[in-house]
Amino acid sequence: MITVMLRAGRNKDFGNGSIPKIILAQAIPLTVSQLASLLYNIVDRIYIGHIPDVGTDALTGLGLTFPIITMISAFTLLAGQGGSPVFSMARGAGNDKKAKKVLDNSFIMLTVLALILTLVGMLFKKPIIYALGGSDITYPYSEAYLNIYLWGTVMLMLSTGLNFYIAAQGFPMQAMMTTLAGAAINTILDPVFIFALGMGIKGAAVATLISQAVSFVWVLGFLMSRKSIIRLDITRLQFSPRICLEIVSVGFTGFVMEFTNSVVQMVCNRQLKLYGGDIYVGIMTIVNSVRSIMALAINGITSGAQPVLGFNYGAGKYDRVRSSIRFSFIIATCYTAFAWLVIFLFPKFFISLFSDDAALNSIAVPYLHIYFMAYIFMALQYSGQSTFMALGKSGRSIFFSIFRKFILVVPLTLALPYFMDPPVTGIFWAEPVSNIIGGSASFAAMYFTLYRKLQPNKTLLK
């Protein structure tokens, strides 16, 4: 069955054929690809958390870097993923010339932003880490990791951002392989540098840097080859302020989603340090790691649907757009329900992946359960926002990202500790409350303002 679906993905015309097969043909390799990308950081956390004697402090120090790494991801989505729907709609409309310009300008923006972020990170990492809740105990670990990790920002942003264009051309397997190779190398090198060579957290950063270089070469190699339908030629880049603005207008959704994630992480770390201390920052690092693992499939499903949605919307095939929305939502709902059940039944397994500290592990279980209590509502959040984004309705997607993360999570994180005993529990309750309210609002808006207006006889969607 999987083989049949992957064959369906080889058909670069998303306007014909079975919607479920096409979406799954995109989603399966994209999920594996995102898993490979996630392994860059997850494998680091797993090994770092098990460093003898200092594993808990090192893991906490690594957790303090998450807002910075998430911010880098936000700008990657702005210039990379932002261009993908524009690119897909241009291809669907038969405008390959515009599609080429979108790819060129995405490359330019990713490169410039990466250089700026590298410089800012290197100059201001110390005040940033302390502002995020760092201490004299945990800061040395954060600094040691970032001193090396930041040198790979250009390669990371280009490989991740441009990989969206490989998938958008109907090459999900190649998109998967670009990150799979790097992740495999990182997994192999981590224990070598961390333990065998005794480099500790620095070894994790070195392994990550080497792995990012492999993915970078792989992505550019494919996009510049004859295999790519729309080729990248870095010697003949066509800069266009208008195209850049169009990319940013769509990519601003993903940017805001990641930016607000970064803000939430900052606020959480400070609150956790205030009400619980370093050990609770470590627990949240583990909880966020589990969330990243569980989000892989739902990200893969919605990402796999996006080029299909964009292509058919650009071609005016609204019946296929509606079918794509329905199918991706059903699969996302089933998956999030399954993910919640697994976490509820086996919490200690997930926690033990990242730490063998008995004191931390005994405390972490109830907080993991609280955090994932309303995880199924994330299917509604993802379905609503990804549909808005895929069809170029970035303003609506931006609003619901800000609504859930900034308007709901941040105030709840600040306020709930006053009403909980112990207060630190309130910080973890902020997530399920925001999932229920934010997810329901996002999906309802998508359904009533967009889905119901997608009729075959309509030529323009207001």
User: pTM for the complete prediction?
Assistant: 0.76
130, with CB counted inside 10 A (0-12, 13-18, 19+), is: middle
317, pLDDT greater than 50: yes
* Residue range(s) defining the domain that contains residue 119: 16-453
Quick check: is 399 in a domain? yes
What phi-psi label fits residue 53: left (phi over 0), alpha (psi between -120 and 50 degrees) or beta?
left
What's the confidence (pLDDT) of residue 458? 55
How many C-beta neighbours within 10 Å does residue 180 have? 20
- What is the number of structural domains in the chain? 1
Let me know if residue 9 belongs to a domain: no
Within-domain flag for 458: no
- Summarize pLDDT for 368-410 with one digit per residue, the tens: 999 999 999 999 999 998 898 888 787 788 788 889 888 999 9
Contact 208, 149 (CB under 8 A): yes
What does the pLDDT look like over 235-290, one tens digit per residue? Answer: 889 999 999 999 998 888 678 778 878 888 889 988 998 998 888 988 998 998 89
State pLDDT tens for residues 331-352. Answer: 999 999 999 999 999 999 999 9
Stronger pLDDT, 71 or 457, i.e. the higher one: 71
Burial level of 93, CB count in 10 A (0-12/13-18/19+)? middle
Query: Long-range CB contacts (< 8 A, 24+ apart) of 422-428?
Result: 422/275, 422/276, 423/275, 424/271, 424/272, 424/275, 424/276, 424/280, 425/367, 425/370, 427/268, 427/271, 427/272, 427/275, 427/280, 427/284, 428/284, 428/287, 428/367, 428/370, 428/371
Question: Is 266 within a domain?
Answer: yes
Nearest of 408, 410, 406, 412 to residue 429 by alpha carbon: 412
In angstroms, how far is the first alpha carbon of the chain from the final one? 39
Quote the pLDDT of residue 256: 76
Asked whether residue 138 is assigned to any structural domain, the reply reads yes
Q: What is the pLDDT of residue 376?
A: 95
Task: Tell whether 4 is covered by a domain.
Answer: no
At residue 457, the pLDDT reads 56
pLDDT tens, residue by residue, 85-135:
889 888 888 888 999 999 999 999 999 999 999 999 999 999 999 888 888
Instruction: Give a yes or no: residue 388 inside a domain.
Output: yes
In the DSSP assignment, the letter for residue 407 is: I
Is 459 among the domain residues? no
Query: Cα dist. 244→231, 302, 331 in Å?
Result: 18, 24, 34
pLDDT for res 37 = 66
